[in-house]
Amino acid sequence: MGSDGWNESAQAWIDVVGPRGDWGRRFVLDSPMTARVTDRGFADALDVGCGEGRFCRAMQQQGIRTVGVDPTPALIARARQLDPSGDYRLGRAEALDAPDASFDLAVCYLSLIDIPDLPAAIAAMHRVLRPGGTLLIANLQSFNTAGDPAGWTRAPGGALHFPIDHYMTERARWVSWSGIRVQNWHRPLGSYMASLLEAGFALRHFSEPEPVGGEPGRAARYRRVPYFLIMEWQKAG
């Protein structure tokens, strides 16, 4: 398997995200994602694509036992450094090394876009969840990922717009920012929905969170073209 850029970008990612998270996590996703794991009775959570372990530590503050899985050695090493008593494992979402029905919560916090074989990963998460278990997802909006490589563009008259093209074509794409260069996947929303439904999940929550705080100009652009969505899916009881 060729490099997806994460090994080469791990230190830059650690520097950019830091202990508080980047802009999208701090001002858009952290609050609603934390709310969805608070006082819900979850005991054991698997964070798939845990990176440096930031959301594992957040879930632990809610009294949830966590296991973090990520394929990037430097990120797992950083997670263990920041949380020496935590359980962080090197591994891929498509082949989770965990027993059947061993978690009541699985989380994909902006990690589905990094997974080449989406159906295999969704099936693996369904397998390790207990009956009635929850899969909580934060993901990039599909129309946003279809805006690359141009992204925000200034028209001849000076107005900013965000062109979308080839929305229905699933494809790998290289994205770069702040010294990070990694491969993500664009998929239409229907591809995600079909994989989740085919695995046997039922949709229980869908939202498109708005920013709370942060630089006003950036928040205004976000409201024009949102980055994120949150979904909660349930395995049959």
Read off the tokens for 226. 């949102």
Annotated domain spans of the chain: 6-144+158-235
pLDDT on residue 19 = 87
Q: What is the mean pLDDT for each group of 10 consecutive residues in the chain (237 residues)?
A: 86 93 96 98 98 98 98 98 98 97 98 97 98 98 90 90 95 94 97 98 98 95 96 97
How many Å apart are CA 155 and CA 96, to the nearest integer? 46
Angle at CA 121, nearest 5°, toward 193 and 106?
A: 85
pLDDT on residue 1 = 44
pLDDT on residue 2 = 55
pLDDT on residue 148 = 77
Question: Per residue in 5-17, is it b (16+ CB within 10 Å) or e — as a string?
Answer: bbeebbeebbeeb
Quote the pTM value: 0.96
Q: Which CATH number fits domain 6-144+158-235: 3.40.50.150, 3.30.70.2860, 3.30.365.10, 3.30.450.40?
A: 3.40.50.150
